[in-house]
């Protein structure tokens, strides 16, 4: 199964971060956020962040994972379930606090933004890096698009021993599209939310800013 064109990419963040993101005019890598002394609402596992800090990117523009703005290729990720289950230490948020900032890989390439992507969770030492959209074919897209679907993506992502095609399904579903250092907000095509209440919260958070993206309710992107 081939990939869709456009190939949507999804960045998760907490609603309390939106005003600061709007003020910056870009999504910033963790490295740049730290250098700027910004205080961002945390939704990440600290032990995984430690691994990402030491994970070298083997293609230009190189660096480490923290030098990139990360996106998934699908919503409703294992990480969202972990957050919603209250299993991320020091993270007070649940899924109704988390939004998706959506763009697509083709738009990134057209804008000339430096990027790489992986075929598995990028923190895994055996994940492969690619630097051309022609290599999107290296990702096992059937695991993203097979039935049963919720809003265009397979409902299931868990790994299991049988059949063997599912042995690494969780790791594959967490493949990443990584944009170096900063991602312009003009390239965000929409903000995805779970319900109308979240939409109101997003519009309130951005009410005093110049960034007014489309906000779209996508219940199938959530648990």
Q: How large is the average pLDDT for residues 41-46?
A: 68
Helix (H, G, I), strand (E, B) or coil at 197: helix
Where is average pLDDT lowest: 42-56, 156-170, 205-219? 42-56
In 123-136, which positions are buried (b, 16+ CB within 10 angstroms) versus exposed (e)? beeebbbbeebeeb
How far is Cα 122 from Cα 57, in angstroms, rounded to an integer? 9
**In the structure, what pLDDT confidence band is assigned to residue 38 with cuts at 50, 70 and 90?**
confident
**In the structure, what pLDDT confidence band is assigned to residue 46 with cuts at 50, 70 and 90?**
low
Q: What is the pTM of this model?
A: 0.95
Q: How large is the average pLDDT for residues 83-104?
A: 95
Q: Report which secondary-structure segment, H or E, holds 98.
A: strand 98-104
How far is Cα 157 from Cα 78, in angstroms, rounded to an integer? 8
Residues 127-184: tens digit of each pLDDT = 999 999 999 999 999 999 999 999 999 999 999 999 999 999 999 999 999 999 999 9
Distances (CA, A) of 62 to 50, 100, 117, 202: 18, 26, 12, 34
How far is Cα 146 from Cα 156, in angstroms, rounded to an integer? 9
Which residues are marked as active site? 52, 176
How far is Cα 215 from Cα 73, in angstroms, rounded to an integer? 19
Residue 44 pLDDT > 80: no
Question: Would strands 115-121 and 129-130 be described as parallel, antiparallel, or unpaired?
Answer: antiparallel
**In the structure, what pLDDT confidence band is assigned to residue 214 with cuts at 50, 70 and 90?**
very high
pLDDT score at 221 = 98
How far is Cα 10 from Cα 50, in angstroms, rounded to an integer? 22
pLDDT score at 73 = 98
pLDDT score at 39 = 67
Tell me the two tokens of residue 81: 């379930």
pLDDT score at 159 = 98
Residue 116 pLDDT > 80: yes
- Phi (first) and psi of residue 152, to 5 degrees: 95, -5
Q: How large is the average pLDDT for residues 12-31?
A: 96
How far is Cα 2 from Cα 136, in angstroms, rounded to an integer? 8
pLDDT score at 1 = 80
Which is nearest to 27 in space by CA: 180, 194, 148?
180
Q: How large is the average pLDDT for residues 62-77?
A: 97
**In the structure, what pLDDT confidence band is assigned to residue 47 with cuts at 50, 70 and 90?**
low
CB 11 within 8 A of CB 70: yes
């Amino acid at each position: 199964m081939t990939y869709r064109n456009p190939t949507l990419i999804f960045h998760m963040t907490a609603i309390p971060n939106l005003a600061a993101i709007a003020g910056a005019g870009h999504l910033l890598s963790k490295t740049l956020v730290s250098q700027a002394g910004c205080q961002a609402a945390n939704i990440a596992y600290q032990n995984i962040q430690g691994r990402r800090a030491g994970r070298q990117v083997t293609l230009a523009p190189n660096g480490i994972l923290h030098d990139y703005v990360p996106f998934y290729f699908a919503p409703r990720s294992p990480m969202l379930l972990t957050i919603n289950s209250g299993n991320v230490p020091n993270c007070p948020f649940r899924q109704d606090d988390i939004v998706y900032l959506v763009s697509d890989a083709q738009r990134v390439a057209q804008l000339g933004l430096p990027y790489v992507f992986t075929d598995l969770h990028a923190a895994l030492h055996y994940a492969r890096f690619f630097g051309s959209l022609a290599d999107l074919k290296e990702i096992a897209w059937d695991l993203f698009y097979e039935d049963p679907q919720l809003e265009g993506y397979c409902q299931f992502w868990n790994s299991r021993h049988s059949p063997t095609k599912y042995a690494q399904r969780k790791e594959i579903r967490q493949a990443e599209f990584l944009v170096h250092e900063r991602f312009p907000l003009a390239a965000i095509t929409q903000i995805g939310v779970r319900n109308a209440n979240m939409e109101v919260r997003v519009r309130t958070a951005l009410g005093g800013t110049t960034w007014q993206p489309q906000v779209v309710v996508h219940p199938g992107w959530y648990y």
